[in-house]
Amino acid sequence: MKASTFVMVHVGQSTESQRNLIHGIDTLSWGFPEEKPEYRTAQPRFAVLATGASPRVQLTDWLQGTATLYLFQVRGGFYKGEAWHWPDEEAERRLKYPQRFGIEPLAKLENVPLGPEGPLTEAGSDAIRRSGTDRGMGKIIQMPAQRLLELASIPFDTQEPEDVPLDQAPGFTADQVEGTRKPQRRRRGAGYISDPKKRKAIEEHAEDLAIAYYTSEGWSVEKLGKPYDLHCTRGPEERHVEVKGTTGAATSVELTINEVLHARNKNHTVDLYVVSDIKVDTHTDPYTPSGGSISHYTDWEPAEEDLRPRKYEYRLPELKR
């Protein structure tokens, strides 16, 4: 079987660890306290975040246990973040996890055996244990993804198991995180920022950067908001621009059905302008956003395999009377 590069991570059961796990899933980002030499050249395709098993045991005892595994596709590789992103970073006003990467939830797997009867290789399982004794630092390993994908009922090409169709992966949300001291939280969607003032500052900063870019390229820009964010014209040319911003990684963005349909309309030329890793100082009034990394997609049309429906409206059939 083809081996893929994995990041294996142990997440503890403390309130802080569980809160960070919830926030990481919400915002599609994960991070570590420091860079390790292997991160510089690694190009991981998958990540496993494991919780529910104590790592401070011998390997033979570890392999007898079970854990909950959160399986992710890694997006974008490692980068050095500059924004306070996790709750404890915000509270302490400092970067605690600057070595970051984007994560796309694929499946939550419960009560998974950590030994040979499970989907992990011994090296993969032991990497989780070693992560738990090393402050949750990610361990890079080579391991086939097929058994994990099969356990998650995710279809895959045996020749290219890394090309996971997002629309056929079950996924999961942070509401499915289980811990003995799980912090209380409101239901949120992927990438959601709970503070409305912070969310507004992020959105406006991303739009300001997009406007500055298109203006510098000779476009006249009109700010709309709906049905799309920016209307750009340059002589006979016309572009509609969707703008998204986040303090996390450039992994996924939330789209409404109208935004998807609009981007697929052949009568329009649509761009997607994403600003990630935005810094926000919440100790000023109003909040002060700054920085950010740009991901710019011109002539954008979202493909079906890159979309995951989170909710449907179901029209009930009329009952015969």
Q: For residue 282, what is the DSSP state? A: T
- Position 185 scores a pLDDT of 46
Where residue 1 falls among pLDDT bands split at 50, 70, 90? confident
Q: Is there a contact between 160 and 149 (Cβ–Cβ < 8 Å)?
A: no
Sign of the C-alpha dihedral, residues 31, 37, 41, 45? negative
- Predicted confidence at residue 311, as pLDDT, reads 73
pLDDT of 176 reads 87
Tell me how far apart the alpha carbons of residues 117 and 188 are, in angstroms, rounded to a whole number.
35
Contact by Cβ (8 Å): 298, 232 = no
Stronger pLDDT, 69 or 305, i.e. the higher one: 69
- Res. 316: pLDDT tops 90: no
Is pLDDT of 119 > 60?
Answer: yes
**Residue 88 has what pLDDT?**
87
Q: How confident is the model at residue 194 (pLDDT cuts 50, 70, 90)?
A: low
- How many C-beta neighbours within 10 Å does residue 271 have? 21
Encode pLDDT of 28-79 as tens digits. Answer: 999 999 999 999 999 999 999 999 999 999 999 999 999 999 999 998 889 9
Which DSSP letter does residue 255 get? -
Beta strands in 180-223 (DSSP E): 220-223
pLDDT, position 313: 75
pLDDT on residue 193? 62
pLDDT of residue 187: 44
Residues 232-289: pLDDT tens digits?
A: 999 999 999 999 999 999 999 999 999 999 999 999 999 999 999 999 988 899 999 9
Going through 135-259 in order, the beta strands assigned E by DSSP cover: 139-144, 220-223, 230-234, 237-245
Cβ within 8 Å of residue 313, ≥6 positions away: none
User: CA-CA distance, 76 to 100, in Å (whole number)?
Assistant: 10
Looking at residue 308, what is its pLDDT?
A: 86
DSSP code at position 136: T
pLDDT at site 318:
86
Helix (H, G, I), strand (E, B) or coil at 196: helix
The proportion of the chain whose per-residue pLDDT surpasses 90, expressed as a percent, equals: 72
- pLDDT tens digits, 259-273: 999 999 999 999 999
| pLDDT class of 189 with cuts at 50, 70, 90 | very low
94-103, 190-199, 234-243, 279-288: the lowest-pLDDT one: 190-199
pTM above threshold 0.95: no
